[in-house]
Chain A
Amino acid sequence: MLGGLALKWKWRERMRALGKPTDQPNIVTGPVQAVLWHQRGLLPLRASVVVVDGRAVALAGPSGMGKSTLAAVLAAMGHNVIADDICVIGAGKIAEASVQPGLPRLLLWRDALDRLGIPPEGLRRALSSREKYFVDSGQGSVCELHKLAALVVLVRQVSCALTIERLRGHYALCKLHSIVHVRRAARALGRDPDIFTALTSLAPMGVTVWQLAVPDNPACLDEAAAKVVAALQS
């Protein structure tokens, strides 16, 4: 975490010295941080993490799939958000899959704020050219590791029905591989065997994998959150 912040500070200094804007650091810090996690032998996934009834569940998927918005809906139901956008897990060479603490804030688009009834006034914008905002999740800094209980991979549903299904075996492995952060860079670092080991170790550690197929219709988010909670309790 400190390494990532140091990177951001140095980047800001350089940009200021060049008279350039400093409002888009994530292009620098996000991928670089993910590479650093890989180099440290950890597994960065494209996921937000919410603790439901004491169990950490990672909501995973590519950008625009609704990870942060779904995390915000679960937060509004009283569940704690402990990471957004990047979920770093330790797995493979240890006894349990643990989630590293992330920043206690969510990045939400304006449409998501409107759906959630959060006024944008007073929120800091993440980008000057787009209506994306930092929203404090209200839990203060998260310091402790959490045991990962479940991974829910969000996919686009082509029909109108919202569905959640348990994935197992090869199909689960393929889905999980698709949500590994900076996969190309990781491959260049020779991380493929370790990633395979880490992903295949999740099931024996008791981590369940689910696929949540979400229609485009934004009105279905409450139902999606309820399905996630029900799946964890099943």
Chain B
Amino acid sequence: MPQKIWWLASYPKSGNTWLRAVLTTLLSRAPVDINNMEILGGMGSRRIAFDDTLGIDSAHLSFEQETNLRPRVYEIWAEESERPRYCKVHDAYHLTPSGEPLFPVTATRGAVYVVRDPRAVAVSFAHHMGRSIDDVIAMMDAPTTVFGGSTRQLPRNLRQRLLRWNDHVESWLAAPFPVHVVRYEEMLEDPHAAFAGVATFLCLPCDPEAVAAAVDATRFSRLQAQEREVGFVEKPWNATAFFREGTIDGWRRNLNPDQAMRITASHGAVMQLLGYDPTLAPLAVDEQNQVAAR
């Protein structure tokens, strides 16, 4: 029987990979290999999967053509999959150039949307991209921001439109199918409750023992250790690490007041909607020293 797709959606560097590690462990009941989480269903923008599904070479397509064809790929996946498929996506929920939803309702079962404080996203994204924090703050505020949009090489993933950070969030909250929102901060503070909620929504095993085992197997330190030992396929070659810090308020040590203010000025309304306090300020230098001394 055909199985529709569950989307695991987020803005980049918001906790999607950790979520997938937990779900992989819940499904397989085995220690997760961070370089092989294909049991879930792969990434929605993966170029190889697109080419293989359609039998054409996306290297020969324009960005517009490849985006227009993506809904067809997802329809084929939904039609052919014999088990539930959970696909990671970073795209905003938007229309293709030809005017249809990128993620077709007919191919979709629902979505989990992982959201993280944009101030923490900015710091993590800057490390990931090898760009300055100021650059990334500007990217997060630009409606034209894309991932995989290089014209000088063939990126591993198809081009993904991110829109502005707040538009990314709102696009998924307004998607015309069930969307379960989970905050990265909840995943850190009470992982058992957060992941049990996600598992229940996705109709996955959610008994406390299974969730506790999955949470324990995917502790941040374990993922970091695995990356150090064997590497991680999603880490850009020039980034130092993918699993870097993973904290809630690390941004308070890494942003200056002006940077934090620019983010809240652009995205404050949506931040408040999600429970992020826009008035929270970066730590002063002496406060940072006290934290470091502890």
Contact = CB atoms under 8 A, between A and B. Distances in A.
A175 to B, nearest CB: 14
Nearest to B69: A27
Given A109-B152, A112-B153, A158 B55 contact: no
A130 B63 CA distance: 9
Given A63-B47, A216-B236, A217-B237, A184 B153 contact: no
Nearest to B50: A63
A27 B61 contact: yes
A24 B60 contact: yes
Interface in B45-102: 47-48, 51-53, 55-63, 65
Interface string B29-52: 000000100000000000110011
Contacts of B47: 62-64
A111 B150 CA distance: 10
Contact of A129 (B63, B156, B232): B63
Given A62-B47, A64-B156, A182-B55, A27 B65 contact: yes
A27 B60 CA distance: 6
A126 B62 CA distance: 11
A106 B53 CA distance: 25
B153 to A, nearest CB: 4
A110 B152 contact: yes
B155 interface: yes
A128 B48 CA distance: 22
A157 B35 CA distance: 10
Contact of B56 (A27, A64, A111, A156): A27
Interface string A50-63: 00000000000011
Contacts of B35: 158
Nearest to A157: B231
B80 to A, nearest CB: 10
A215 B63 CA distance: 26
Nearest to B227: A158
Contact of B230 (A26, A107, A158): A158
Contacts of A1: none
Nearest to A160: B231
A184 B61 CA distance: 19
Interface string A71-109: 000000000000001000000000000000000000101
A30 B57 contact: yes
Interface string A132-149: 100000000000000000
Nearest to B59: A63
A92 to B, nearest CB: 22
Interface of B: 35, 47-48, 51-53, 55-63, 65, 150-156, 230-233, 236-238
